[in-house]
Amino acid sequence: MGLKDKFAESYARSKTMSGPEKRANEIMGKLLMKKAIIPIVAMIILIIVGAFMHINGWIILAINLAICVATFFYIRKQAQEFQNFTPYVGNLISLEQKGKKEYVAILKQGKKPIKLKITYGAEDLQNIKKNQLVQISYNSKYQIAILVTR
């Protein structure tokens, strides 16, 4: 499969994504970009320092390639960790704002209430009425909540 075919397949998949999938992609993309900024800045600083200190260009290239490879494997591992979502279906009892971007949602699933600490994705839950049935995909490690259905 050529590069053109892979791009076409990726483009077609992005056009057929549902709303929750797009929202999850957007949140995880932003989080991965935050993690990728540090290696990118380190590579730029390395190039600038190498130019000022007259270090051999091949050495700078080798170090930058090592940073690229390490960053690739780190970002790939992080992306796999972002995919661990647990589905919750229940009535949304309350949504309280604890900090600037931190929320606590309480869902009633059957007889027991479930408390979810949400850092990313709580904006969608603010428009939900009390005791409305919702389905939420939740990543407890990174506190990401994606509203699947209302």
Phi and psi for 144 in degrees, rounded to 5? -105, 130
Q: Please state, in angstroms and rounded to a whole number, the distance separating the CA atoms of residues 128 and 123.
A: 10
Backbone angle region of 105, left / alpha / beta, with phi > 0 → left and psi within -120 to 50 → alpha = beta
57-114 pLDDT, tens per residue? 899 999 999 999 999 999 999 888 888 888 888 888 888 888 888 888 888 887 888 8
- Answer yes or no: are the C-beta atoms of 142 and 120 closer than 8 Å: yes
Phi, psi of 148 (to 5 degrees): -85, -55
- The per-residue pLDDT for range 50-59, each reduced to its tens digit, is 999 988 989 9
Contact by Cβ (8 Å): 110, 88? no
Residue 5 in 3-state DSSP?
A: helix
Residue-wise pLDDT tens digits, 12-60: 666 666 677 777 778 888 888 988 999 999 999 999 999 999 889 899 9
Tell me, letter by letter, the H, E, C secondary structure of 130-145. CCEEEEEEEECCCCEE
What are the strands, taking DSSP E only, across the chain?
86-97, 103-109, 112-118, 132-139, 144-149
Whole-number average pLDDT of the chain: 84
Angle, nearest 10°, between helix axes 57-82 and 19-52? 160
